[in-house]
Structure formats: C-alpha cells, structure tokens
Amino acid sequence: MTDPGANRGVGGRQTATGECAAASDELLVRRARQGEVGAFEGLYRANVGRVFAVCLRLCGEPSLAEELTQESFVRAWQKLGTFRGESAFSTWLYRLAVNVALGHLRRRLGQAQPVDELVGTPLDGGGEAPAPEAGIDLERAIAQLPDRARVVFVLHDVEGYRHEEIANLAGMAVGTSKAHLFRARRLLREALA
Amino acid sequence: MSCEHVRSRLDDHLDGKLGSRESEEVRRHLAECSGCRAELAALEELRRRVEGLPVALAPSRDLWPGIAARLARPAAASAARSPWPAWSRWLGAAAAAVVCAAVITGYLLSRTESKPVQTATQAGRDVGAAFASASGEPHYRQAREQLLAALAVRRDSLSPQTLAVVSDSLRLLDDTIVRISGALEKHPGDSHLDRLLASAYRQELELLQRATRLPRES
Amino acid sequence: MSKTLLALITATAALVVPAWAQSPVHETRSLAPDGTVAIENLDGSVQVTGWSQGEVEVTGTLSKEAERLEVTGDVHRLKIRVVLKPGTRMTTDSDLEVHVPAACRVEVECVSASIAVAELRGQVELESVSGDVSVTGTPGELEVEAVSGTITVEAAPNKASLESVSGDIEVARAGGSLEASSVSGAVRILGGTLEGGEVSTTSGEIRLEADLGGRDSLSVESMSGGVVLVVPAGVNAEFELSTFSGSISSQLGPKPERSSDFAPGEELSFSAGSGGPHVDVSSFSGSVQLLTR
C-alpha cells in the first residue's frame, strides 16, 4: 500500500491529481497562513471529501464524522503556524484528522483498557459490539466492526499505515494491532460472504 | 501444516510477509485444500473491494459555514485547565497583537533606573498567553523580534555574566520550542503538546521582558 | 622599642584609615507602620530585619567606589540608595544592614548584592541579578526575582511568587498557593502545604514534598527536567500526569499507560483517597515520579 495519509495511488489516477493538488495547495496554504479565510476555504473544498471519508470510516457514524471533520479543519486553521511544509499539506491535514478522530474515539474506547485486551485467540469476541450482519456492503460492514478492530483495519488496509505507526497512534502494542487486523478481516469476510 | 495454522498465516501470505520456507509450505497446503483456497479467495476479494472504496466521500451537507463560524472565535475548549488570564481567550489574535505591542512599548518607555520594583510575571503571562490563541505563532515571532531588538539596544548596560545567563537561557528555550514544534509536526492537534508549546512561548517572552528591564550594571 | 611606644604606634596606626578601607554609614528616619522602604544597592549585601520600632535604621559600610548613601523620601516612602562614583565598573562591595518596622512594605533591588531578609511581616519584593536571595520569617506577601542568584525561602506566604532564570529555588515550607519558576535552575518545595499555584522549569528539576491542600489546582510543568512529587501515602488529591516522551513511575494509582494521544510518552490520571485538589503534572521529555513517604 502507499504512504499513509497520502492520496491512494489507485491506478495512477489519484497520483496525477495529487500532484496538481499539492501545487495549488501550497499557494493557498501561504495565503491562509497570513489569515486569509478565503484561501483556507479553498483548502477545505479541495480536501473535505477525503477528510470526511477517513473520519467516517474511523468512527462509523455519519453525523459524528461531520463533527470530526469540522473539528479537524478548525484545528488545522489554528495549527497552520506549525505546518512547516516538510510534507504535502494534505498529508499533514489527513494526519491531523486521524488524530482528531482517534482522540475522540479514545474517550469512547475508555482509559482503563489493558494492552492485550484480546482474550485467547484472535477469533474471540472480546466482549465488544457484535460482528457485522451478513450480506451488507463493505462500508456498512466496516462501520459495524468493533471499535479497535475498525480503527486498525481502516488505518492499515484503507489508509496504508504500518502496524508500528498504528500502535504508536492508537496506544497499543504492535502485536495487538496485527491481531485486531486479523480479526477485522475475518469478521468482514464473514459479513460479506 | 494444519488448516488452522495455514488460515492464520494467510493474511501475511497475501501481504508477502512470509519467509520463503513458510510461504512454500502454505502454497503446498493450498494446492491440496479447497477449504483454505476458498479462505484465500475471500481474503483477496475483500482486498479488491477495499481498493475499490472511494477515496473521498461527501458529507450530507456543506460543512464550511460551521467551520467558518468557529474560525472567528479563538481556541476555547481545547485548553482544559488554562492558567492564563481569562481575557486572553476572548481576544482575537489581532486585538491580542495590539495589546502586546502596547505592553512592550510600555515596558521600554518605563525603563528608568529608579523605578520601583515590579515583577514582569503577570504582564508577561498576559502577553505570552495572547500568542497561545488562534494563529498565535506569527505574533509570538513578532513580539520576540521586538524584544530581542530592545535587548540589543541595552546590552552594553548588562554585565557579561548576566548577558551569558540570559542568552544561554534564551537558547535553551528556543531549543525547547523547536523540539516541541517538531513533535507537533508529527502529531498535529495534540493538545498536550499545544499547552507545552504555549508555555514555552510564554516563558521565552517573560524572560525577554525581564531582561529588557534589568538594572543597569555599567 | 619600649612596650609603651609600640602600643602607642599600634594605637595610632589603628586610627589611620587606609585608602582601601570602606566608610561606615549610620542613618535613621521615621517611617509610618504601613510605609514603604525601597533599597537599591548594586553590589555587596543587603540585610533587612523587621523590628517593633517606628523608624528605619541603616548601618553598614560603603565601598570606596561609593560616593555616598542617599536617603530620600518621607515618612510614607523612604528610598535608600548606594550611589556609586560615575564611571565605576563592577566589583564594589557595599554592605547595608537595615532595620525596618516589621509590617512595612520592603522593596530591594540589587545587581550582584546578596539579599537577606528576616522577621518581616508586610509585603516584600526582592529583585537581584546575580546575588543570592534568602528570606527567613514569614512575610505577608512575597515576590522574588533573580537571574542567576539562588532563592531560599524559609516560609513562603500564600500567593508567593518566586522566579529565577538559572538560579535554584528552594522553599522549606510552603504556606498556600505558590508560583515558582526557573529556566535552568531546580525548584524544590520541601515542606508545608501547597494550595494550588504553578511550579515550572525548562531544564531544571522539580521536587515537591509539601502536603497538598486547598481546592485550587496545582500545575507542575517541566520541559526536559525531571519531576519528583513526594506525597503522604493517604493523600487526598486528583492526579493527572503526562509526558510527551518521558517516563512516568508512580507508587500510587494504576499503571501509567502509553499515551494514546499519539505520543511516545505516558499518561496517568487517577483520584487518590477521597479526591481533592487537582494536581496536573506535565512534561515534555523529563520523567515524572510520584512517590509516597
């Protein structure tokens, strides 16, 4: 899979668009940093779909995802001063959105979760929400995954993060991340069968 | 290799992460086991469908008006337990910069030998806190430049020892700010880092202010 | 030489003041009990002691670079200043001992003179650059600023404010809320009761051994220095400890967790005993230790 947070290089179509987007983003970023809200709106329009998609897939609820999307852009505006252009703006923005979404989820996932929360084999339900219903489409199946499994699946298989980064971001051991991925894929396969 | 073992290795096999020996064993098992082949096919199907997921999704409505409204207000809720004075949260960044300039000018003008002892702590906190609000960093930089210039003007009136302590401490604070900013670049939106950075800005500005009003030593 | 002659010569010699000697001073002025005494001495030492008389008495010796001791003002505000001869460089040494009404307001500003105050009960504001500052007794209010000088306080009053840049700060007994900050110096609060406030350092270490009381929150912040909190085993407080890349070790509460707020550091949040004042300890790369005594 491609770099985390970057445009997914599916069939090359995204990459070309990605390059164009990066160039115009740069100009908008410069102007937005000076306080030009209109330029920031341009950055919003160019990136909102992608930000919303990652928020929605991570949290599984559309109205919550909309709130998280707004929160991400507001934070991005506030943090523009700290963006140093070492990566593409969109990469930085998506990373911020992932942080915002995980920050919200962390409160829901609870503070006192032990690191190795999986009991027994990865196929064990672990006491979280039930598996997705059979025969539904992929987006809905992902939304119905248990929280941690969904986060790992979205970050790894959809967004292309590596287990080390996921472990770092979501506060779990690398092995736990792999186990969650295994479980997520298993549950999704059963749901889509 | 048992089916259960193979099925637990299928994900890595598909991702190409198995060593050549284990990979070969899995391949051999798959050649003879239709059950596991079906599992692999299901995994591959899942991967195909994931790759087909749209990169972007449209929210149910235009979210921009909600965002624009919040841009006008400085950061409020993110600073959970802020030690800064309340007024700094309600001032917009532009107004805060005006106040800051006035405070700095005030300090420079009041710099006489025989003025009574006053601490810069609270005023410095006010000034420093103003930069912690929305888009504070350019204003922090501006205040820092002004204060450094004021300090440069009077550096001859400070002893070399005092200058050394002040510049070592400034370097230490600058260093800290760079490290925290670097961490923020990798973890944007981390509120703990935000607080630390705002604190470091504030401490640097307080130090600069104190340095500009130290008594003459020569 | 006869003994008498030797004695006479010795006695005579003692009367001749050598050119390098200091000149003594002695001044007295009346001061209202709520008056202010402001003292400025660049170099040497300043000792201020409270007493029950209604006047200010200055004794001591001026260095040879000192032109005079200037005492101006009135019964409400007295200013005592060591005036140096024009063009004087550093390394002069004037020592002043000042007795003041115990409840009056005292302001001292020095550069490399050390400052020692005792038995004062009013407002005390002390500023030094490289001189050390020492406060004994219990002033009503206390503000100290030093640059490289150390600050040593026996009993800090409520709302005390202590700032140094590279000097250490040490308080034997905290008495309420306290603001103490240093950039590279250490901050040590070794006893008494802390009721909220802020303790911060950039690279120095923080050590807090006071009891925790009151309802206001206490904010402890370090960038790269370590933080050690020592509390009674049955303490009642709410703790929130977090680091960006440092480690946390605690003898109370649950195990710290890797901060899932996207950082390599750790965090630990819990309520000890029946809960109480909120203690927020935050560090960038410094370690945080919570120990029981």
Q: For the purposes of burial, counting CB atoms within 10 Å of the CB of C97, is it exposed (0-12), middle (13-18) or buried (19 or more)?
A: middle
Q: Which residues of A35-67 are buried (b: 16+ CB within 10 A; e: fewer)?
A: beeebbbbbbebbbebbbbbbbbbbbeeebbbb
The DSSP letter of residue C87 is T
The DSSP letter of residue C202 is S
Q: What is the mean pLDDT of residues B179-186?
A: 84
**Beta strands C192-201 and C266-272: pairing type?**
unpaired
- Mutation for testing the A interface, residue in B15, B51, B63, B142 having most A CBs under 10 Å: B63
Distance from CA of B55 to the nearest CA of C (A): 24
Q: pTM here?
A: 0.56
pLDDT at residue C117 greater than cutoff 90: yes
pLDDT at C159: 94
Model confidence at B208, pLDDT cuts 50, 70, 90, reads confident
Q: Which of B53, B61, B71 sits opposite A138 (nearest CB)?
A: B53
Could you give the CA distance from residue A86 to residue B132 in angstroms, rounded to a whole number? 23
SS3 state of residue C293 = coil
Which two tokens mark C109? 């500003």
Q: Lowest-pLDDT range, A109-118, B122-131, C243-252?
A: A109-118
pLDDT at residue A127 greater than cutoff 50: no
| Neighboring chain C residues of B173 at a CB cutoff of 8 Å | 183, 202
Could you give the CA distance from residue C151 to residue C131 in angstroms, rounded to a whole number? 9
* Tens digit of each residue's pLDDT (9 = 90 or more) over A6-64: 444 332 223 444 556 666 778 888 888 888 888 899 899 999 999 999 999 999 889 88
Partner A contacted by B80 (CB < 8 A): no
Could you give the CA distance from residue B49 to residue C53 in angstroms, rounded to a whole number? 91
pLDDT at B130: 46
| B94 vs C153, more confident | C153
Contact assignment for C260 to A170 by CB distance below 8 Å? yes
| Neighboring chain C residues of B168 at a CB cutoff of 8 Å | 166, 184
Q: Which of A170, C247, A169, A160 is nearest to B15 (CA)?
A: A160
Could you give the CA distance from residue B207 to residue B168 in angstroms, rounded to a whole number? 11
Nearest CA in chain A to B10: A182
Could you give the CA distance from residue A26 to residue A88 in angstroms, rounded to a whole number? 8
- Mutation for testing the C interface, residue in B168, B196, B205, B210 having most C CBs under 10 Å: B196
Partner A contacted by B59 (CB < 8 A): yes
Nearest CA in chain C to A115: C257
The DSSP letter of residue A120 is S
For chain A, the average pLDDT equals 76
Could you give the CA distance from residue A119 to residue A33 in angstroms, rounded to a whole number? 48
* Tens digit of each residue's pLDDT (9 = 90 or more) over B6-61: 888 888 888 888 888 888 989 999 999 998 999 899 889 999 899 888 889 999 98
pLDDT at residue C87 greater than cutoff 80: no
Return the bridge partners of C180, or none.
Answer: C162, C199
pLDDT at residue C10 greater than cutoff 70: no
Could you give the CA distance from residue A176 to residue A156 in angstroms, rounded to a whole number? 13
| B155 vs A45, more confident | A45
Q: Which of C218, C137, A50 is nearest to B81 (CA)?
A: C218
Partner A contacted by B139 (CB < 8 A): no
- Residue B49 near residue B43, CB atoms below 8 Å: no
Q: Which of C79, C110, C224 sits opposite B176 (nearest CB)?
A: C224
| B183 vs A6, more confident | B183
| Neighboring chain C residues of A172 at a CB cutoff of 8 Å | 260
Measured in degrees and rounded to the nearest 5, phi and psi for residue C65 equal -80, -10
Could you give the CA distance from residue B9 to residue A160 in angstroms, rounded to a whole number? 20
Which two tokens mark A34? 């000076």
The DSSP letter of residue A139 is H
Could you give the CA distance from residue C271 to residue A175 in angstroms, rounded to a whole number? 31
- Residue C160 near residue C140, CB atoms below 8 Å: no
- Residue C111 near residue C131, CB atoms below 8 Å: yes
Could you give the CA distance from residue B199 to residue B82 in angstroms, rounded to a whole number? 10
Could you give the CA distance from residue B169 to residue B165 in angstroms, rounded to a whole number? 6
Model confidence at C31, pLDDT cuts 50, 70, 90, reads very high
* Tens digit of each residue's pLDDT (9 = 90 or more) over B88-111: 332 333 334 444 444 444 433 333
pLDDT at residue B202 greater than cutoff 80: yes
Model confidence at A128, pLDDT cuts 50, 70, 90, reads very low
Nearest CA in chain C to A99: C262
How many CB pairs (< 8 A) connect B and C?
Answer: 127
- Mutation for testing the A interface, residue in C260, C261, C270 having most A CBs under 10 Å: C260
pLDDT at B127: 47
Contact assignment for B161 to C179 by CB distance below 8 Å? no
Partner B contacted by A133 (CB < 8 A): no
| Neighboring chain B residues of A181 at a CB cutoff of 8 Å | 11
Distance from CA of B8 to the nearest CA of A (A): 8
- Mutation for testing the B interface, residue in A78, A93, A99, A169 having most B CBs under 10 Å: A78
Which two tokens mark A164? 């080390």
pLDDT at residue C197 greater than cutoff 70: yes
Nearest CA in chain C to A169: C262
Under an 8 Å CB criterion, which residues of C touch A?
254, 257-262, 264, 269
pLDDT at residue C21 greater than cutoff 70: no
* Tens digit of each residue's pLDDT (9 = 90 or more) over C266-290: 888 888 888 889 999 999 989 999 9
SS3 state of residue C283 = strand
Nearest CA in chain A to C255: A112
Kindly list the structural domains of chain A, giving each domain's residue range(s) and its CATH number in brackets, ordered by start.
13-109 (1.10.1740.10), 138-192 (1.10.10.10)
Distance from CA of B217 to the nearest CA of C (A): 7
For chain B, the average pLDDT equals 71
Model confidence at B195, pLDDT cuts 50, 70, 90, reads confident
Neighbours of A26 (CB within 10 A): 12
Could you give the CA distance from residue C85 to residue C278 in angstroms, rounded to a whole number? 54
